[in-house]
Copies of this chain bind each other. A is one copy, B any other.
């Protein structure tokens, strides 16, 4: 479904959504410890996300990664797109080209409806909303 990289990235960004802001930047090292993901690898992912403007960062002392208010309006699809490429989620299950409603592959009917629901969720729910869910106890992001 998602690659390991995407999973790490999502966890890290949700962590940032929960605990960081402009005035509370967090070092890659600390995030990696908290969410239990290899340090150097996470750093690479966060750098890529920062470069693509999904998250924010500043270098030097007192620096680190954080989410700006604008960042919080992004959705998870943005993260997955940067790391895995969004096509992976949208292409035919059997990788048959021109698979569509008119000419569905044998698995199309099984998957298409549920996938649509899922993709809409990924696209529409913002990072801010997701972290609000966690803060309100509607969902849980355990760090192990």
With A1-B1, A93-B2 as contacts: A106 and B7 at CB distance below 8 Å: no
With beta carbons under 8 angstroms apart, the residue of B109, B113, B121 that contacts A110 is: B121
Which residues of A in the span 1-60 have a Cβ within 8 Å of any Cβ on B? 1-2, 4, 7, 10-11, 14
By the criterion CB–CB under 8 Å, are B113 and A117 in contact? yes
Chain B, residue nearest A122 (CB): B110
Interface residues on A, range: 35 or more
Closest CB-CB distance, A118 to chain B, in whole Å? Answer: 5
By the criterion CB–CB under 8 Å, are B2 and A106 in contact? no
- What are 18 A-B contacts with C-beta separation under 8 Å? A1-B1, A2-B94, A10-B107, A76-B107, A96-B141, A96-B142, A99-B140, A104-B139, A104-B140, A105-B140, A105-B141, A106-B133, A106-B140, A106-B141, A110-B122, A111-B118, A113-B117, A115-B118
